[in-house]
Structure 1
Amino acid sequence: MAGQIRFTGYFGVGPVPAPAPGLAPKSAPGPVPVPVPEPVHGPPVFTALAKAFTVKDVWREWKEGIAGQPAIQELEETWESRWRPGNIVRVQFCRRKIIWDELRAHIAPGKTEEEAIAELELLRTNGSLNRLVDTLHRRRKI
């Protein structure tokens, strides 16, 4: 064998011969394999809500989602409170919910989203969203 190279396949195992046509083993009848269902995934986990600067941002966050996150309305309908297990997200959610609820209350009697947003922006009067939440919270208690 001097001077000859012998190809033996992967890790020294010789090539696997293919079965002759028509002689391939037939599978015996047996139970039909049952497809395994894909595992059910849990709720998405958030460490914080997206940064919002205006009432319109807060409303878009509820309806459409912002900063690559899904709509909060959809998360609530699908997962209820399970998507917000951490304290930070829970507190942020509770504060934003005051704005969402107020917007929905303005929209329910027939105002447009834009009109409701404009009214809350006027109430905010260049203050922060947190200040708006505090104002709305005080109004609820009266």
Structure 2
Amino acid sequence: MDALKDLREVMACPCLRIRRASRHITQLYDHVLAEAGLTANQFGLLAYLFGAAASDRGGLSIGSLAEQAGVDPTTLNRNLKPLKGEGLVADAPDAADSRVRVVSITKKGQAVLQKAFPLWRKARKDVERALGAPELSKLNELLDLAASEVRRLGEDRAG
């Protein structure tokens, strides 16, 4: 009987539910963005770098981009390889500290991102249509809250 109770608790686990929903949503975005030759992850990285370029920072350090994307630097480097190979991003040593690598979006990357924006909007509309606009807004708020609070909890435990 305890095993059945344990199983019910596991099936209610927020981690498992978030991962399942994330996989389905990511698959939808990947399918739509494939027309631009991007995955959802690549689109996000290009968007972060485009934002940095638009704000006159030019690029982002590996550490800063990894933090924004919510991945560790090793994973980020692996994710950047295909973008670098396609000439969509470039990296160079930071002018102030040559030990720090700064990643920036190239003109080609900006062109691909511009092609991808309407596709991304379509995928977003699909998700909004599936959930409803108010529910999607609430979900985004909850996910932001979860990310900040769980991160803080992890930092408290590590520190």
Query: Per the shorter chain, which TM-score range?
Result: under 0.3
Higher strand fraction (1 or 2):
2
Q: What TM-score, normalized to structure 2?
A: 0.23
Question: Which one has a bigger Cα radius of gyration?
Answer: 1
Greater per-residue helix proportion: 2
